[in-house]
Amino acid sequence: MKLLVTNIAFLAGIQPTDKLRLEGKEMARLETIANAFLYVEDGRIHSYGAMSDLAKCSLPSDVQQIDAKGGSVLPSWCDSHTHIVFAGSREQEFVDKIRGLSYAEIAKRGGGILNSADKLHDMSEDELYQQAMRRVDEVIRKGTGCIEIKSGYGLNTADELKMLRVIKRIKETTPLKVVATFLGAHAVSREYAGRQSEYVDLVIREMIPAVAKENLAEYIDVFCDTGFFTPEETARILEAGTKYGMRGKIHADELASSGGVEVGVRHNALSVDHLESMTAETIETLRGSETMPTALPGTSFFLNMPFALGRKVIDEGLPLAVASDYNPGSTPSGDMKFVISLACIKMRLLPAEAINAGTMNSAYAMGLSKDYGSITKGKVANFYITKPIPSVDFIPYAYTTPIIDRIFLRGEEYIPQTV
């Protein structure tokens, strides 16, 4: 299929082909072309430029032409941390939080992750898939084109595999680019209460080989934090996953500065995520590594927690990604536009920095930035056309205003539908 988009007010998010991530001052640069066109061929970006140069381009006669009508074009959001395969909501815990209970207190009372695990155990793969696909449609409508989905609400081998099979089915039936992460070490199951070391052995000796046998996950994750898994246990799990080709992506420093970032860097984790309790010393640990620090500002907003030190991370010359953490307990939202607004308002990122964090760098945090996350020749044509807006800065500024007019994934228009 050949597609030409014309009369684009601003074509934004342009990056050279050799860039995989942006660091420090680079993050404040969001290259744009005013009054532009974009040409797509076979699902990938072929060329782009100013409308004044379009006449010089030799385009085939069978090209489909779309008039942006003065809207702008940006690369689709890349959401590198979600848990969108889950069974039902947890609004009662929302009420508990309003009444003053902490995340840790709710977990100790049998809520939180264990609550979701109980619900998921009783739900079939088909039911899980139908629920998840409604959320997939929701996030695509909001501009997301790439997403990472974690397991972690199974907490036994059969239910973790059930979740990962659902994620595989989503990969096969949606134009969204999906990567899967095995998170068996999200919490200790009720069956293993008081026997955490035995549960870690179960993850290593039974779950990881079973996941690998069916080739169900590209990555492995561990909730390395106070009250969950220790750095030593995390290291064991990451090492076991690496043997089966699953690279690490760690839940780190959400509830405390727990050593999760340090163990992630030592084991070459692709990303360390959350970072609400990150310290200046932790930031220094990341210097020179391939690990992407990933903030989840929606979690801080919903749980009324501190926000990650995103401004300091960038000022120290490091990269930063942002993601939604869409899940039923701590962040029941996959709205990346709102995440970008929070990054600006609460973490003091400039609009360009926040947009780059939610596109290029979040794609890197999924190992996808070679093909996604920017307007670059040869990359997959995942983008959206906005309604006419005064500038790119308007996107995080107007934090609840719907801006998307049309969505294109793999170079084809996405027609919203509810499964």
Q: Is 330 annotated as a binding residue?
A: yes
| DSSP H stretches of helix in 257-325 | 260-266, 280-286, 297-303, 310-315
Q: Is 241 annotated as a binding residue?
A: no
| Whole-angstrom distance, CA of residue 26 vs CA of residue 340 | 17
Q: Is 46 annotated as a binding residue?
A: no
144-150 and 77-82 as β-strands: parallel, antiparallel, unpaired? parallel
Q: At what angle do helices 113-121 and 157-173 cross, to 10 degrees?
A: 80
Q: At what angle do helices 157-173 and 125-141 cross, to 10 degrees?
A: 50
Q: Is 325 annotated as a binding residue?
A: yes
- C-beta atoms surrounding 237 within 10 Å: 27
Q: Cα 243 to chain center, whole Å?
A: 25
Rg (alpha carbons) of the chain, rounded to whole number? 21
Tokens 């139908």 sit on residue? 130
Q: Is 221 annotated as a binding residue?
A: no
Q: Is 186 annotated as a binding residue?
A: yes
- Region of residue 317 (left: phi > 0; alpha: psi -120 to 50; beta: else): left
Q: Percentage helix, strand, coil, to 5, in the chain?
A: 35, 25, 40
Q: Is 284 annotated as a binding residue?
A: no
Instruction: Enumerate the known binding-site residues for 4-imidazolone-5-propanoate.
Output: 90, 153, 186, 254, 330
Residue positions in the annotated binding site for Fe(3+)?
81, 83, 251, 325
Residue positions in the annotated binding site for Zn(2+)?
81, 83, 251, 325
**What residue numbers does the annotated binding site cover?**
81, 83, 90, 153, 186, 251, 254, 325, 327, 329-330
Binding-site residues for N-formimidoyl-L-glutamate sit at 153, 327, 329
